[in-house]
């Protein structure tokens, strides 16, 4: 089971690194990829991106180095909350197509949090 959790952590980390990197460091590309980015402030998008990027690092590094491994499920919980809030944001904007991605990301983060706590 531990190997399965590590695989899921790796996949989730890759997904969150990509999403976070795009929002935080490739704002113009994020703006052309996601319609909602045009309707909120750049600081808001970049802030979410930085949180996702740091959270992705938190999914792997603490547990892999055995330095404060409790930070891994905390990072997963934080990412699950961010994704859940994102889903609510998309519901409020009637962007139902976007919610599927949020559900997958939420499921990955919640699974990691539950298994690692």
Least confident of 3-12, 29-38, 82-91: 29-38
Would the pLDDT of 89 be above 90? yes
Looking at residue 96, its pLDDT comes to: 87
pLDDT at 25: 94
Q: Where are the alpha helices (DSSP H) in the chain?
A: 2-25, 27-33, 42-65, 71-92, 96-116
- Per residue in 23-76, pLDDT (tens digit) is 999 999 998 888 898 889 999 999 999 999 999 999 999 999 999 999 999 999
CB-CB contact of 79 with 105 (8 Å)? yes
Q: How confident is the model at residue 3 (pLDDT cuts 50, 70, 90)?
A: very high
Structural domain spans, the chain: 2-116
């Amino acid at each position: 089971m531990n190997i399965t959790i590590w695989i899921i952590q790796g996949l989730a980390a890759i997904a969150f690194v990509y999403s976070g990197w795009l929002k935080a460091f490739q704002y113009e590309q994020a703006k052309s990829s996601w319609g909602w980015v045009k309707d909120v402030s750049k600081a808001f998008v970049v802030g979410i991106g930085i949180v996702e990027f740091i959270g992705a690092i938190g999914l792997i590094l603490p547990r892999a180095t055995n330095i404060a491994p409790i930070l891994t499920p905390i990072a997963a919980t934080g990412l699950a909350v961010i994704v859940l809030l994102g889903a609510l944001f998309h519901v409020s904007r009637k962007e139902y197509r976007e919610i599927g991605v949020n559900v997958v990301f939420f499921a990955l983060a919640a699974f990691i949090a539950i298994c690692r706590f």
